[in-house]
């Protein structure tokens, strides 16, 4: 029996690279995605990914649950095909590593299926499938959008839809993404060298690994289902982040802190729903 699966309460930061910039295997996945009459929409692909994740909650991880079928998100800009490979093996390897590093063993034994790790095909997570220095094209955050991600975008990059599918996303060329992140980092390092800027540095290093003709997309994904239509329509988080940076540039730290706290409160209100029963 096929059950309904709600899109995961996650948002996604994706990089779409020119098809020619991808390794052969990922290039083939992108071309395969174009061979169907109507390429899958990002929401449908996210739900497919969620189905595979739910399969991992069975008493024993099914064979092949780790690794998964490779998919590709596609985007066409000015006649140029851009591709964002899903890279399940790479993303799952990193997620497992983060999980095993962040939680003690007795907690892992509670949250992982009995014998689950014994059934993981770690061979699919090794060098050939995902080299040690590989960088994912997709970053994921649960129950909120990390505020640092909004540095990449301007309000003019925003698009929203309410019917028939509710969506909110930002898209910008890689050259703009790098310019904005670099400018924000230099500004904050000069004005407040004591502030914690590592998340901004990490974001800058990540986008620098991709082709300069790429595009960057922030997709609110399943988070839109947690937001009332009025709240979603009024959300201008990228514009607020830009305003906070402009306030710092003008020496108005008080205004910058007010905007920042307002943003944190807005997203914390959404994030606490993770703990609701």
More confident residue, 183 or 91: 183
How would residue 120 be classed by pLDDT, with cut points 50, 70 and 90? low
How would residue 58 be classed by pLDDT, with cut points 50, 70 and 90? very low
* Average pLDDT taken over every residue of the chain: 79
Of the given ranges (24-28, 45-49, 51-55, 197-201), which has the lowest mean pLDDT? Answer: 51-55
Instruction: Give the Cα separation of 274 and 277 in Å (integer).
Output: 8
Phi, psi torsion values for 261, nearest 5 degrees: -65, -35
Amino acid 163: pLDDT:
85
Amino acid 36: pLDDT:
45
What DSSP element (H or E) covers 115? none
Assess whether pLDDT exceeds 90 at residue 118. no
Is 245 buried (19+), middle (13-18) or exposed (0-12) by CB count in 10 A?
buried
CA 240 from centroid of its chain's CA atoms: 20
Instruction: Give the Cα separation of 272 and 268 in Å (integer).
Output: 6
**Partner residues linked to 216 by β-bridges:** 15, 172
How would residue 76 be classed by pLDDT, with cut points 50, 70 and 90? very high
Amino acid 6: pLDDT:
56
How would residue 61 be classed by pLDDT, with cut points 50, 70 and 90? very low
Assess whether pLDDT exceeds 70 at residue 265. yes
What mean pLDDT do residues 55-73 have? Answer: 51
Assess whether pLDDT exceeds 50 at residue 1. no
How many beta carbons lie within 10 A of that of residue 32, not counting itself? 13
Structure tokens at 116: 């689950």
Assess whether pLDDT exceeds 70 at residue 127. no
Instruction: Give the Cα separation of 85 and 95 in Å (integer).
Output: 17
How would residue 63 be classed by pLDDT, with cut points 50, 70 and 90? very low
Give yes or no for a contact between 181 and 207, defined as CB atoms under 8 angstroms apart.
yes
What mean pLDDT do residues 61-86 have? Answer: 74
Portion of the chain with pLDDT greater than 90, in percent:
52
Is 258 buried (19+), middle (13-18) or exposed (0-12) by CB count in 10 A?
middle
Assess whether pLDDT exceeds 80 at residue 144. yes
Instruction: Give the Cα separation of 220 and 96 in Å (integer).
Output: 23
pTM value is 0.78
What mean pLDDT do residues 213-241 have? Answer: 95
């Amino acid at each position: 029996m096929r059950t309904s699966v709600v899109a995961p309460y996650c948002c996604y930061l994706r990089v779409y690279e020119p098809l020619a910039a991808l390794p052969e295997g990922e290039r083939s996945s992108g071309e395969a995605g174009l061979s169907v009459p109507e390429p899958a929409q990002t929401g449908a692909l996210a739900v497919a990914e969620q189905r595979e994740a739910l399969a991992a909650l069975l008493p024993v991880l099914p064979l092949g649950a780790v690794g998964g079928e490779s998919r590709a998100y596609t985007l066409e800009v000015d006649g140029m095909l851009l591709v964002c490979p899903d890279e399940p093996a790479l993303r799952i390897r990193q997620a497992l590593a983060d999980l095993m590093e962040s939680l003690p063993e007795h907690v892992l034994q509670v949250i992982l299926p009995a014998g689950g790790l014994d059934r993981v095909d770690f061979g699919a997570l090794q060098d050939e499938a995902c080299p040690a220095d590989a960088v994912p094209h997709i970053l994921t955050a649960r129950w909120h959008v990390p505020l640092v991600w909004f540095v990449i975008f301007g309000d003019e990059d925003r698009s929203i839809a309410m019917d028939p599918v509710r969506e909110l996303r930002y898209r910008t060329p890689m050259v703009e993404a790098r310019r904005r992140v670099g400018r924000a980092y230099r500004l904050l390092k000069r004005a407040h060298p004591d502030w914690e800027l590592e998340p901004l540095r990490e974001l800058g290093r990540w986008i620098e690994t991709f082709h300069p003709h790429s595009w960057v997309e922030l997709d609110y994904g399943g988070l839109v289902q947690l937001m009332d239509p009025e709240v979603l329509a009024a959300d201008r988080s990228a514009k607020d982040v830009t305003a906070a940076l402009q306030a710092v540039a003008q020496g108005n730290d008080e205004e910058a802190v007010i905007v920042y706290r307002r943003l944190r409160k807005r997203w914390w209100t959404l994030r606490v729903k993770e703990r609701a029963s």
